[in-house]
Each structure stands twice: as structure tokens, then as C-alpha cells.
Structure 1
């Protein structure tokens, strides 16, 4: 069982750590141009796409869970049909994004703001990169589907291909064709379509025989579509809560002063860095939990849940020790500004608590996604957002100031995992035991 977990987790970890590498390369490219407005342009434009794609990440999650269950049932026709249904939904969503790109851009810049020059460049960046939306969202679906089919290697190959091509094209467009921030946008757009092409090739290479099993009646299965949309709507609300919390965190950091904004922006990266690793085990949970539910193997389901939590604890302890002993060293690698480093000192103990506080939120998310138990996920996020994070900030800010933001963030992450752990027996185990 441990081998199965690591076989799925390690490729996903490798896929995850390629993401920040690309962001660093884009920033480095813009940082070597003759003005800092280009950095602002891709940062501003990138925020918009982060919101769009994060908001539609339910496409990957629901596809992964449903596919894993069909895989466990050995229902090949349903497995491939889930992919087709998800891609059709993706096509509709993508068409909406392209048709309404002008109002999306206007509303985004109204909320985010920026200097006129930066906003103008960011708008150009957005208008180029938005045409990659069909490919980017389709890659969510393919990644979720491959994972549900217990294949973490293909998403890793796709992620590496997309990021390598993106880096090469961005360097070419920026330094050879002198396209500045527009070059980064074009490089990103083209690389997404190359990634989509790679996904299709890999699909045909290994899963071509399944395609003949797709039928029109299967695609428009009303019962399944009702369940699919229900799960997607729950996951969308869950994701929206996460977006609200992290946006609020950044907004309230900025409202204090520029130094605190810089401090919190850097320190929150330690949570993100931990997430790149722990998410590998969460993704393994999606695949294995879904498979064992589909195969009606309760004993294996319980065993894999325990092992996932075990691996999560091991990883959290490792990161806690790294943060405990090397936090300032890592901080100095992220910034050379002494005033920011000094201002960060009072808040470093929150970072040491990050791995232990957040482990459950990641691992249990993967377990619940594999079980397609979306309602408890939604409810846990609503509770943690509006009854934990928000009250802590508003009640404690007059006394604790920035510490109230960090306490709210850590308890937000902790309560998500705790609530799902408490609900596990009644919302996943018992219903399965009764249905089997």
C-alpha cells in the first residue's frame, strides 16, 4: 500500500514544484528589462488568471474522484465517458471566458488596480493569454482523469513539457523578438496548447481502445450529470472560500503598510512551499480512495486513509524541523531587504506551526475528493471561513494587529482538517458500509 501511495505522490510532487519555477523564470525575465512596470504587468495579469483557474479547479477534482471510482468498479466505459463529459463542460466554460473577456478584464482591473502604465501592459498580457483558457482548463480535466486512472506519471510529463516549452518560448519572445511582457503571455498561451496536444497523444497511446466505448446515451446520463454538477458546485463554493481567505489576507496585509505586505507575502510562501509536497499525498488520496470505494474494498479504504495521514505527519514533522532550524536562512534567500527581514522576526513562530496546523486540511481534502463527498468539504470551508477566520481577525485585530491575521490563517487551515476528520466516519465510512 505504501508503494502505491508513493507511486502516485512522488510524480505529483515533481509536477507541483515545476509551478513556482516557471513563475520565478517569468519574474527574472521581466526583472532584466529596462523598467519595473513589466514585472507589475505580469504580476497583475497573473493574479487574474490565478483567480480564474483556481475558481475552476473543481474540473480537476471532480473528474479525479469520479474516474477513480469508475476505475475501482472496473467500468471502462464509464471511465472514458467521464472524461468526455468533463471536456464538454470545459468547452462551454472556456467559450464563456472568451466571449466575456472584456468585462472580465474590466472588472478585474477595477478591483485590483495599478498604475495606468502597468494596467495597460497587464491588459495586453491578459488579452493574449486568455486565448489559452480552453487548453488550460482542458489540462485540468486530463490531469484529474489520468490521476483517477491511477496514472500520476502522465500529468508529470505534461507539467514538465508545458513548463519547459513555456520557459524556452518566453525567453525567445522576450530577448530575441523583444516582446516584453506580451512575450511571456504568448509563451504561456502556446505552451498550454502544446501541453494539451501532449495530453491527447498520451491518451491515445495508452487508452485508445476505451474511446470506442463512448456512447451518446452514456454522455447524457441525467443521473450522473446531476451528481456531477452537485459535486462541482460544492467544490466551487469550497474553492471560493479559499480564494476569499487568501485575498482577504493579502488585502488586510496591504492596508497595514508596505513593509507588512512584503513580510506577509514572503512568509505565506512557506505555506505554499509545504503545500507543493503535501498535495502530492492528497492527490494520491484522491486516486486510491476513489479506487477502493469503486471496488467496494472498505478495509483497504480504511488502511489507505491511515497511511496517508501517517505520511502527512512525517512530512509535517520534517518541514517543521526545517523551518525551526533554517527559517532565517531561507528568508534571506527570498529577500535581501534587511528592513523586511527584521520586520518578519515577530511572525516567524507562526510559520513554524504551519505544517502541523495545515496537514489535515490537505490530506483530508484528497480523501473527500476521492470519495466525491463534496458537501462536508463545502460546509467545513464555510465554517472555517466565516466562523473562524473572519471573527478571529475582527475581534483580535485591535490588540494583535498582524498577529491576528496569522492566527486566523492557521486556525482556518487547522479547523478545515479537524472538521473533516470528525465527519469522516459518518459522512464516508457509514454510508459506504450501509450501501455495500
Structure 2
């Protein structure tokens, strides 16, 4: 019989993982924002365009390979719950090794990747030239970034989200100092910003290695390469990560189509959708932190076969989710339009945004369960169910949009997005009942 864990203890464990993860999430966009801010003072809009295009390429690339973090987190947390420290160590080496292999493939294919990107993204010759320079420098950061995904997922699986937070903060500090030094002291331009980003990426990876060596000394003697690439273990690793990869593709497709559909309706609608999505993004940073807590704790209790603590944790996660969703809805209702005024002084855009603002108010309550279940499913390595849920939701996104956009216009896009978010949560709630340990 597993002992009962008090509600206070569970909430403490949730917040210990969620709060550092939220801070890490908020710092991630700063890397791109810092680059844009620096080149924004170089005297030509082409520099901003180049950083925007280059940043978009890497965001897509690294977003697609985000399965390295998520899959590692779920499997590590389960091994940690079982107290299987040999497997815990093998998972880190396996994940980082696969990440480095993918990075080598990206380096080898950098030319066709870039040409394919510019086939899809139309840019002026000057922006394309500058973005190419930025890409060919930053692509060498792929080993650091993909290796760091393995470390980040492993740390979270070990119930430690503080180290990824420290790494994210360090990366931003290094990026600011390095980029400013290259641009203003060495008189570089886009290439200076690119080198600053590259150095920050390797600083983060080096810090992850050093933190592991310093604080996980007891695991170092367990580092043996025998069994890391065992067929059965690799099959499970890739089956879990395959589902997460396909799920991420669905996310990318829906997100990019949302932007594209808005752009097809004119620059004002595109601007409105972009601004309103910032409110969704802010909410997602918070809920992702609690999803990370779901990954770590659900995996741990599943590995320990502690069904009671698992169910207590799920209930408390949803209590936090409901509370935060209500709070964000009230916050946006009271101050959301004022927040938009901070982002732009274009009165036309702000006025137009008022026509769609009520859709944003519905996002927190419609979407919070999808974030939380994603985290719990990753911790349970129930990735097939997560994939099925987002496939169904993505299909309905397009069905709703094409069914209503002729007479609802941009409102149909927001309706489709809300249906997509809601269906993910509904489907996962239904499928959770069929998952061992989670189902009653």
C-alpha cells in the first residue's frame, strides 16, 4: 500500500517544478528579442528582416525536434520513480547521443534546408543574403541546442527544473554580452548577432554538462555504453519520440496556417491576430510550466506504481489549471486591451482587435486541459493517445474554418482555433480512462 501524500506536499512539488519552468519559458523568446533589438539600431530594416527570417527557420527546426526534450522527460521520470539509476543514466546518454546525431545530419544538409526554406519564404534579395549569412553561422549551434534538449528533458524527469532555468538565464546574459561586443566593439552587423547567439548556445550546453558532473556525481560511475543502444530500448525511445514528433508537426501546421489564413485577409487582420495571439502565448508559458510538473510527477508516480499519489497530483494540477484559467480570463477582461496598447500605437489595429477580443477571453478555459493532459501523457509515455487527440483536433480545425470562413471571415479562424484547443483536452480526457495507472 502506497502512503498517502498530503495535498500541501503535492502542491509544493508541483510549484517547485512549475515556477522555474515558467521562468525558463519566459526567457526563451528573449534570445530572439535581444537579437532584433540590437539589429534594430543598425540603420536598415533589412537587418531586422534577416533576423526575423533566420529566427523563424531555427524556431521551426528546433520546435520539430522538441521531442528530444519531452520524450526524455517522460522516460526519465518513470525510471527515476522505479529507482532504476542505471536506466536513468542510459537515458541521458541515449537522448544526447541521438540529438548530436540529428545535429550532424542538419549540418550535412544545411544547403538544401536553406534553399528549401527560401523556396517557401519569399524575401527581398538583400534580406535573403543577410538571412543566409545568419543561417550559415547559427546552424553550427545545432549540436549544442539538440544536446541541450536531452539534458533539459533529463533534468525535468529527475524532478529538477531549476537547472534548465539557470541555463536559460545564463544563455540570455551571454547572448547580450557577446552580441553587443561583436556588433559595437568589433563593428560586425548580422554576423555579430549570429556569433553572439552561437556562443550563448554552447555556453548553455557547457553549463548543462558541468551541472551534471557537479551535482550528479553518484551517476558518473554508472556511465557505461553497454546497453545504451540496445534494440528494445531504442525501439521504445523512437516509438515514444515518433508520436511526439508527429504531434509537433500537427502543432506547427495549425500554427502556421493560422498565421497564413490571417495574412490572406490583409495586413490589418494579420496584425490583429498577431497581437491577440500574444495573449495566448503568455497564457501558454504559464500552463506549460504546470505541464512540465505533470511530466515529472506523473512519470515518477507511474514508475513507483503509486496510483494514489498520481491521482492526487492530477486532481491538484487541474485545480491549478482551473484557478489560473479563471484568473487569466478576468485579467484579460480587465486589462487585456490596455496591454494591446503597449504593443502597438496603431489605432486602426487596436480598434479592429476589439471585434475579436472575446475569442481571446475564451482561450484560457478552453485550452488549459490540453496543456495539462499533454504533460501527464508525456510522463505516462502515452504518446500515441496524445497524437490521436491532436490529429482529431487538427482535422476539426480545418473543417470548422472552411465550413464558416465564407460568412464569418476572421471570426471563423478564431472559432476553429478554440474548437481545436477544446477538442484536444476533451479527447485526452476520454482517452486517459484507458491508460494504465491513470484510468480509475
Moved more, 224-233 or 59-68: 224-233
Higher helix share: 1
When normalised by structure 1's length, the TM-score is 0.97
For residues 20-35 of structure 1, what are the structure 2 equivalents within 5 Å?
Answer: 20-35=29-44
Q: Which residue of 2 aligns with 1:89?
A: 98
Q: Which residue of 1 aligns with 2:193?
A: 184
Of 420, 431, 434 in structure 2, the residue corresponding to residue 426 of structure 1 is 434
| Equivalenced residues, count | 431
Offset of residue 176 of structure 1 = 2.3
Matched residues in 2 for 1:305 and 1:403: separation? Answer: 34
Q: Which residue of 2 aligns with 1:395?
A: 403
**C-alpha contact (below 8 Å) 2:307/2:438 kept by paired residues:** no
Q: 1:360 to 1:227 in 2, by over 3 A?
A: same
Matched residues in 2 for 1:203 and 1:319: separation? Answer: 37
SS in 2 for 1:114: coil
Matched residues in 2 for 1:210 and 1:254: separation? Answer: 51
Of 364, 375, 379 in structure 2, the residue corresponding to residue 370 of structure 1 is 379
Q: Does 1:37 align with 2:60?
A: no
When normalised by structure 2's length, the TM-score is 0.96
For residues 250-289 of structure 1, what are the structure 2 equivalents within 5 Å?
Answer: 250-289=259-298
Q: Deviations over 1:43-101 (max 9, x none)?
A: 10111001100000000000000000000001111101000011111111001000000
Offset of residue 25 of structure 1 = 2.3
Moved more, 401-410 or 52-61: 401-410
Offset of residue 411 of structure 1 = 1.2
Q: Deviations over 1:109-151 (max 9, x none)?
A: 1111111111111111111100000001111110100010111
Offset of residue 430 of structure 1 = 6.5
Q: Which residue of 2 aligns with 1:411?
A: 419
Q: Which residue of 1 aligns with 2:357?
A: 348
* Residue segments in structure 1 that go unaligned for 5+ positions in a row: none
Q: Which residue of 1 aligns with 2:230?
A: 221
Q: 1:430 to 1:172 in 2, by over 3 A?
A: closer
Q: Which residue of 2 aligns with 1:132?
A: 141
Q: Which residue of 2 aligns with 1:210?
A: 219
Matched residues in 2 for 1:400 and 1:428: separation? Answer: 43
Matched residues in 1 for 2:302 and 2:413: separation? Answer: 39
Q: Does 1:308 align with 2:317?
A: yes
Q: Please identify runs of 4+ aligned residues in structure 1 that moved more than 4 A.
A: none
Q: Deviations over 1:197-253 (max 9, x none)?
A: 100110001112212213333212221211111011000000000000001011111
Offset of residue 337 of structure 1 = 1.2
Q: Which residue of 1 aligns with 2:81?
A: 72
SS in 2 for 1:219: coil
Matched residues in 1 for 2:127 and 2:152: separation? Answer: 34
For residues 302-341 of structure 1, what are the structure 2 equivalents within 5 Å?
Answer: 302-341=311-350
SS in 2 for 1:245: helix
Matched residues in 2 for 1:266 and 1:380: separation? Answer: 28
Q: Which residue of 1 aligns with 2:12?
A: 3
Matched residues in 2 for 1:240 and 1:116: separation? Answer: 29
Q: Which residue of 2 aligns with 1:99?
A: 108
Matched residues in 1 for 2:249 and 2:180: separation? Answer: 34
Q: Which residue of 1 aligns with 2:167?
A: 158
**C-alpha contact (below 8 Å) 1:166/1:188 kept by paired residues:** yes
Matched residues in 1 for 2:146 and 2:251: separation? Answer: 19
Q: Which residue of 2 aligns with 1:244?
A: 253
Matched residues in 1 for 2:122 and 2:89: separation? Answer: 43
* Residue segments in structure 2 that go unaligned for 5+ positions in a row: 1-9
Q: Deviations over 1:149-189 (max 9, x none)?
A: 11111111111111111122112222222322222211111
CA RMSD of aligned residues (A): 1.2
